[in-house]
Amino acid sequence: MTTTAVDILGADDVSRAITRISHEIVERNPALDSVVIVGMQTGGTWIAKRLCESVNKIVEGANVPLGAIDISLYRDDYSLRPVVLSAPTDIPVDLTGRTVVLVDDVLFTGRTVRAALEALNDYGRPRAVQLAVMVDRGHRELPIRPDYVGKNIPTHFSDEVAVGPNGVTVSAVAT
Amino acid sequence: MKHLLDTHDLSIDDIVNILDVADRMAEVNRRQVPKVPALKGKTIATVFFEDSTRTRLSFETAARRLSADVLTFLASSSSVNKGESLRDTIETLSAMGVQAFVVRHKSSGVPLQLSQWTDASVINAGDGWHQHPTQGLLDAYTITREFGTPTSLAGRTVAIVGDIKHSRVARSNIDLFTRLGARVVLVAPPSLLPSHVETWPVDVRSTMDDVIDNVDVVYLLRMQLERMQSASIPNLAEYTRLYALTPERAAVLQDHALLMHPGPMNRGVEITVDPADVAGSRILQQVTNGVSIRMAVLFTLLGGDSVSSLTAGGEA
């Protein structure tokens, strides 16, 4: 069994993607003061933080809040995986009437996003939820699509996708 | 971890992990909608052969906040009165599809015995003089969080005051507190100390005044009035004079010292000061924390069937 790893994006590509997505967020949301950016624990939080900083730099005087959400208590697959609670949820504002930009590193089956949508509702009723991901790797099992994508990457189901500030790597496990 | 029967079965890592999960549950409990779907589809039975409203309600609240279904079995209104055996009771409930039993019984060892008769998880909610693990965990949680030291009680002194001999709460607390690094001082008349107390990892003092001004936590036990009949103490007034938390004693507590009690309190017996007048009182916080700890225990026992081989690569 061998593993081959391919670097898809470098650190510069990741930075450019974050800058581009933050401009898209500003363009799509003229009422920027109702937007809140929420990163999914733990892979999405650093991206959410950088998006938030970028958005607040693009628009003078903007003060878009940053939150984090842990969905481990909302998963539908406890019986399929060990329970690991990740870092805690921190939603700084009532979400009722807000536009939430939900941020994750990789969009795959969509089950994490489904769980996050359920979790968000427990913090208020958002007016809208938009989804931003660094990588869309396909293989959706639910009717969920991203609003902002860093990079679409076709993958095999068994591939592993690693996303970090230094880049994106896809590892294929060949037997 | 399948059952929670005795604090001694928990490793330090287990203890720290449960307290950590309880932090997450506390966050859920602070929300506008304090409910998550984590245990949807699981059925939890509270099986109480001895009266206890607060512990049972705490467990049932915890189970419901995790979206589990709850069955309540009260021995006082059940077929136990028609002569049904313990084993038949538990097998009958198991056959209804129960994933966890929360058991309270006046005899030590009943939860352990039941765990051998069912495939479900068994949680000891108090058995005789033996153990009350979730009380110990919620008390350890309360103290560690109050002092901001989530994994340790090193350097802290806890005085446990009252009827140690007949107290399962004391046994669970002594084990957890000492293993987390605290020094535990028992304050009680000799007649209310267990035999062989000298083999326990504790110090013993015979009056409150010996310890009250130099401890970090005063933990009062309920003076069980029925003990009076067994002549363990001469009279309640005598007990109150030597062991109760009076306004005078409360006044010499250290500024940071905590006052705790597992409830229900006998006002005028072990406590004559109004706890609302004691700045360090965490008696109601203990009740709040109890729900978080019981959620953490239920989630730890039932939340993951841990068949990790089915996970696919990458993020889901």
Residue B55 designated active-site: yes
What strands lie across the sheet with A35-40, from one edge to the other?
Answer: A66-69, A35-40, A99-107, A128-136, A148-152
Residue B222: name the closest of B69, B65, B55 by CA: B55
Q: Is residue A162 part of a domain?
A: no
Consecutive H or E run containing B110:
helix B110-115
Q: Which residues of B touch A160 (CB under 8 A)?
A: 313-314
Q: Is residue B201 part of a domain?
A: yes
Same domain, B140 and B104: no
Of these residues, B55, B89, B142, B240, which one is catalytic? Answer: B55
Q: Cβ A89–B304 below 8 Å, yes or no?
A: no
Give the domain range for residue A48.
13-74+83-155
Instruction: State which amino acid sits at residue A54.
Output: S
Of these residues, B42, B130, B132, B261, which one is catalytic? Answer: B132
Which residue in A43, A88, A155 is closest to B27 by CB distance? A88
Q: Is residue B153 part of a domain?
A: yes
Q: Which residues of B touch A124 (CB under 8 A)?
A: 32
Same domain, B302 and B226: no
Same domain, B181 and B282: yes
Provide DSSP, B173-197.
HHHHHHHTT-EEEEE--GGGSPTTG
Residues 74-93 of A with CB under 8 A from B: 74, 77-83, 85, 88-89
The pLDDT value given to residue A34: 96
A147 burial via Cβ count (<10 Å: 0-12, 13-18, 19+): middle
**B306: closest chain A residue by CA:** A82
Tell me the average pLDDT of chain A. Answer: 91
Average pLDDT over every residue of A70-74: 88
Which residue in B303, B305, B314 is closest to A137 by CB distance? B314
Same domain, B104 and B184: no
Mutate to test the interface with B, among A40, A77, A85 (most CBs of B within 10 A): A85
Distances (CA, A) of B251 to A17, B103, B277: 62, 39, 10
- What CA–CA distance (Å, rounded) separates A147 from A105? 14
The pLDDT value given to residue A117: 95
CATH of the domain at A24: 3.40.50.2020
Residue B7 designated active-site: no
Is B23's Cβ below 8 Å from some Cβ in A?
yes
Q: Is residue B1 part of a domain?
A: no
Token couple for A23: 């401009």
Nearest 5°: CA angle at A80, between A76 and A83? 80
The pLDDT value given to residue A142: 96
Same domain, B77 and B147: no
Q: Is residue A121 part of a domain?
A: yes
Q: Is residue A3 part of a domain?
A: no
- pLDDT tens digit sequence for A20-48: 999 999 999 999 999 999 999 889 999 99
Residue B168 designated active-site: no
* Number of domains forming the structure of chain B: 2
Same domain, B282 and B141: yes
pLDDT at A77 over 90: no
Q: Cβ A78–B303 below 8 Å, yes or no?
A: yes
Same domain, B163 and B141: yes
Instruction: State which amino acid sits at residue A72.
Output: S
The pLDDT value given to residue B238: 87
Q: Distance (Å) from the C-alpha of residue A59 to the closest C-alpha of chain B?
A: 32
Q: Is residue A32 part of a domain?
A: yes
Q: Is residue A58 part of a domain?
A: yes
Q: Where are the beta strands (DSSP E) in A17-142?
A: 35-40, 66-69, 99-107, 128-136
**A119: closest chain B residue by CA:** B36
**A92: closest chain B residue by CA:** B31
Is B27's Cβ below 8 Å from some Cβ in A?
yes
Is A114's Cβ below 8 Å from some Cβ in B?
no
Nearest 5°: CA angle at B37, between A139 and B61? 170
Helices (H) and strands (E) counted in chain B, each on its own, are: 9, 9
Instruction: State which amino acid sits at residue B297.
Output: V
Give the domain range for residue B35.
7-132+288-307
Of these residues, B3, B42, B65, B104, which one is catalytic? Answer: B104
Same domain, B261 and B146: yes
Between A67 and B76, the higher pLDDT residue: A67
Residue B151 designated active-site: no
Pair B189, B242: CB distance under 8 Å: yes
Long-range CB contacts (< 8 A, 24+ apart) of B104-110? B104/B47, B104/B48, B104/B49, B104/B50, B104/B52, B104/B55, B104/B56, B105/B49, B105/B50, B106/B49, B106/B50, B108/B168, B110/B49, B110/B86
Is A160's Cβ below 8 Å from some Cβ in B?
yes
CATH of the domain at B45: 3.40.50.1370
Residue B227 designated active-site: no
Pair A51, A100: CB distance under 8 Å: no
- Tell me the ipTM for this assembly: 0.70
Which residue in A80, A124, A173 is closest to B307 by CB distance? A80
Is B38's Cβ below 8 Å from some Cβ in A?
yes
Is B274's Cβ below 8 Å from some Cβ in A?
no
The pLDDT value given to residue B51: 83
Q: Which residues of chain B have pLDDT under 50?
A: 305-316
Q: Is residue A173 part of a domain?
A: no
Q: Cβ B316–A108 below 8 Å, yes or no?
A: yes
* Number of domains forming the structure of chain A: 1
The pLDDT value given to residue A173: 76
Same domain, B139 and B82: no
- pLDDT tens digit sequence for A107-144: 999 999 999 999 998 888 999 999 999 999 999 999 99
Q: Cβ B316–A111 below 8 Å, yes or no?
A: yes
Is B83's Cβ below 8 Å from some Cβ in A?
no
Is A104's Cβ below 8 Å from some Cβ in B?
yes
Q: Distance (Å) from the C-alpha of residue B287 to the closest C-alpha of chain A?
A: 23
Same domain, B272 and B239: yes
Same domain, B125 and B140: no
Same domain, B270 and B152: yes
Helices (H) and strands (E) counted in chain A, each on its own, are: 3, 8
Is A124's Cβ below 8 Å from some Cβ in B?
yes
Q: Is residue A62 part of a domain?
A: yes
Q: Distance (Å) from the C-alpha of residue B124 to the closest C-alpha of chain A?
A: 23
Q: Is residue A170 part of a domain?
A: no
Q: Is residue B314 part of a domain?
A: no
